[in-house]
Structure 1
Amino acid sequence: MGDWKPDDAQTELLRRAQGGDAKALNQLVSAYLPIAEAMAHKLFSADCEDMAQEGLMALPAAVSSFDAERGIPFSSYATVCLRNAMIASHRRSRARKRGSGEEKLPYLDGEDGADGASDPQQIVAQREQVSRLMKQAESVLSSFEKQVLSLHLDGYSYKDISRLLHKPEKSVDNALQRVRKKLKYAQ
């Protein structure tokens, strides 16, 4: 992470940034810039500059919410926050495209929705059903299963989800199988 000692210097910068020191926060952001850029390039080679900025915008919140007493290194915590912010930004971007008609709404089981999905009442009913399922999902799915489901519903392939979450495709497939089973029994 740049040219400073991760243990001592980072801990001191973090402490000062949590205390409201804007200069310390700026130093942390500068230190994490290369990490954000590398992560963005690995995950989203096309928009890596924008994605790196999106990730870095999450760093102040990561600094504020970090609790050293949980025993997790700040570098690990910050890296997860950066990646999650980039993925969330990418998902929002895809959702905007979908809303403008550039992309179709993908369904959990890969259905194309051609059976009358242009009927507004049916669309509203489907959205209500998805909303109910998502509420149930919050209580029965693991964090990983929620991430996989969300990315799958956004139209990502198993391969893309695997790459984004740094997990084998088989883990993604297994997670979606568990999601289907859990949601089926939760109804």
Structure 2
Amino acid sequence: MPAALTAAPDAELARLFQEGSSAALDVLMVRYRRFARSRSRSYFLVGGDADDLEQEALIGLYKAVRDYRPDHEVAFRPFAELCITRQLLSAIKTANRHKHQPLNTSVTIHGRDAGEDDSHALEDRLPGPAATDDPAERLLGDEQVAALAAAVDADLSELEVDVLGLYVAGRSYEEIAEHVGRHAKSVDNAVQRIKRKLGRSLERYELAAAG
């Protein structure tokens, strides 16, 4: 991992990630992983476990890096903490609505694979824009998931980039399949490959940071 990146401020890393540097995301993931894990342990998820909640916390962190804008005059850390907390609360709210079913469809960028069934629509678990005067809270609804291709792991194929962008944006497997011209099973396979690749990438950089 380049020394210039490991020493860079959070806001600069977020900017680099938005310009296409997957390594910048890796640095922020390592930097905030402990906080994400600690925050996730403060909550209880019906039908889930600590790993599920940690995955949700990492999704919140990913959204923070993706959406951060320094011109909104909010420092990155409180914005990231807000995104992580809001993602956890969103997941818990959804799990409570579906507590007769296990939470097995998380969008995971690290850890074990989720199930094949996407019946728990992701859009139900994604936080929407908030009506508030808090500038950090307003940021959550300011940006759309429109250009993820420049913000994902370089190992992803063109199909995987398209699938990830649509999946994180809240599309169902059926909607993604129609958009990319593939069967829903092909979309599911692509999602599983994406999660494995991003998980390996994070583990690789965690080991590098520890060394």
Which structure: greater helix fraction?
Answer: 1
Report the TM range for the smaller structure's normalisation.
0.3 to 0.5
Larger radius of gyration: 1
Greater RCO (CA < 8 Å, at least 6 residues apart): 2
